[in-house]
Chains A and B, each alone.
Chain A
């Protein structure tokens, strides 16, 4: 039982760590590249405008998709590793 408990705790910690990492990327591309750091990226041209504009209208959405699939894939591995999957 004690072993179960520490195993479950380790699983949850790993999950929270993974979520934190993913959400840092999530915030970086949307609030960062697309909004706050846009002036800093103004020097990088993308099709008639700048990289920040591309992130705001396409880049962040594409990153979001990758993040969710990455998370789902990683979590499946964690489920298996800790024996907590269905």
Chain B
């Protein structure tokens, strides 16, 4: 069977499964549509949350980020998992107790303000739309690589599949497909990682293999990797970072951004009880960690594999790294997987000094320039796109064709599961917060259901359109979506629960302060609305205030939010008694029913 047929079989089988679930899990009421009926088991919800959370970026890009950045990119690992601790303790159980359908519902009711609800809806839509574009393009890339269809067709197929289970099943259909998608993606991620860990270290568990001895050379794997990259002018893989303030703030921004992302929060509205929301956050992190603990192993091992593919003399015990590093392989002798990926343009080779060999080193390092010159090197000749490391893993490790098929199905599952969660957050904000609460409170249950389905269909069309024509801000998901969620939504939600004193004026002023300072800082360096060339300062570390990057500013924006909300609230009247009673009631689990509309 050809590789194409195998890929088609795996992806087709996974789609048949999702469609089967769509038929089985149709939504009969708005409660089904928004919160899957409210009776999802905490472990099931944990698994669905993990798939909801782990996007195409987690599945495809994270190992590549770690491979290229080493220690410095640990921020993503800690930031995207540490957020669950604050979610479990500061938000999820109380929002579950509140018992309504959406995140703006809580903000609007708690701060008894249409303005607050509207700001929350806008923040939710901007953050979620930015995020969903990346999922659509990610699905398009996976389709075009593995199923030989064009990117455009790939995106349309992805949209059609999501349409089937999201429009008919709502949260109910999404929950059970996410469980299936989690299983597909985690198997796809783990199998090649286990084989690679076995090959390099003899240890079948990647997270342990990463810290054990590299079989071929007899030195610890990470030390070996440091030696190898160092000999080619790269920073040590495990090198510490100088700007600790920025690293701390970046990690914190990712954590509060994770906790404040509406598509993650609404997953916790689907469990029966407050206690279940707490357990469920723990299970979600367990399922996420299965991938996140494997990713650094995949990153480091793939980097070592890549370097020793180019410099075979460096793979075993090396007496003299200088010498081993001066003998890269001939371009003709490159392995098959390099040839395959060259065809996609994600690996490119340009023989700068015409010697027929592949020089791959850090040509941006001034201290290494002399060494490179003495070897007759005229610039690094190989460029490798970070994203291919996970996708190419099975080929690098010489695994059978069905593993490649599995990776294809896994990458698509990761993109679809996150896209569906985001689309539900967007459509419920429109049908529930805008139409039902703000425009037409007298709408019937049936009418709201129809509005929810139409909003979902519209959101899918919008996401498809933006996936096909990605705007400039699509690449700034981390800055924009996490910045908004962390600086605007997270503080408002937290203060709504932990303070009885913060009132409508304080909350609105705080959310706007957090949102606007963060956007201002991001736009200053990345351009107004991300239009190229409109940035007021170059986006380089010397221009950042105190060395704080635009990606790390969400945490500072959140501080502005807290400070302004506190000051404005204390200068104005106390919230009315019924609001203070509402805060009391969300704090105590007693008396939580299922999620209700009103």
**B-contacting residues of A (Cβ < 8 Å)?**
8, 11-12, 15-16, 19, 22-23, 26, 30-31, 34-36, 38-39, 46-50, 52-54, 56-58, 60-62, 64-65, 67-69, 71-72, 75-76, 79, 83-86
Contact = CB atoms under 8 A, between A and B. Distances in A.
A53 B74 CA distance: 9
A31 B293 contact: no
Contacts of B77: 56-57, 60-61
A31 B81 CA distance: 13
Contact of A64 (B84, B212, B223, B279): B84
A69 B289 CA distance: 14
Interface residues of B, number: 53
Contacts of B71: 53, 56-57
Contacts of B278: 68, 71-72, 75-76
A58 B296 CA distance: 9
Contacts of A71: 88-89, 278
Contact of B286 (A52, A65, A72, A79): A65
Interface string B519-548: 000000000000000000000000000000
Given A46-B211, A49-B222, A68 B282 contact: yes
Interface stretch (B145-153, B305-313, B585-593): B585-593
A60 B82 contact: yes
Nearest to B72: A56
Q: Is the interface of B mostly helix, strand, loop or mixed?
A: helix
A71 to B, nearest CB: 6
B285 interface: yes
B367 to A, nearest CB: 22
A72 B207 contact: no
B85 A26 contact: yes
A30 B74 CA distance: 10
A39 B240 CA distance: 8
Interface stretch (B243-251, B329-337, B504-512): B243-251
B238 A53 contact: yes
Contacts of A84: 588-590
A79 to B, nearest CB: 6
B5 interface: no
A76 B289 CA distance: 24
A47 B221 contact: yes
A44 B221 CA distance: 17
Given A26-B82, A75-B278, A48 B223 contact: yes
Give the top 6 A-B pairs by smallest Cβ distance, nearest first.
Answer: A48-B220, A47-B211, A56-B74, A48-B223, A72-B278, A48-B222
A79 B282 contact: no
A14 B194 CA distance: 44
B273 A86 contact: yes
Contacts of A36: 244, 248
Contacts of B210: 47, 57
B172 interface: no
A30 to B, nearest CB: 5
B274 A67 contact: no
A83 B589 CA distance: 10
A62 to B, nearest CB: 7
A46 B286 CA distance: 23
B222 A47 contact: yes
Contact of B74 (A12, A34, A48, A65): A34
Interface string B568-593: 00000000000000001001111110
Interface string B195-228: 0000000000001001110000001111110100
A40 B66 CA distance: 23
Contacts of A60: 77-78, 81-82
B251 A31 contact: yes
B493 interface: no
B126 interface: no
A49 B238 contact: yes
B590 A61 contact: no
B478 interface: no
B586 to A, nearest CB: 11
A19 B275 contact: no
B275 A8 contact: no
B86 interface: yes
B289 A62 contact: yes
Given A30-B82, A61-B77, A72-B282, A48 B211 contact: yes
Given A22-B89, A57-B210, A68-B88, 11 more contacts: A23-B86, A36-B248, A39-B240, A48-B223, A64-B85, A65-B286, A69-B279, A72-B281, A72-B282, A85-B589, A85-B590
B285 to A, nearest CB: 5
B90 interface: yes
B482 interface: no
B269 interface: no
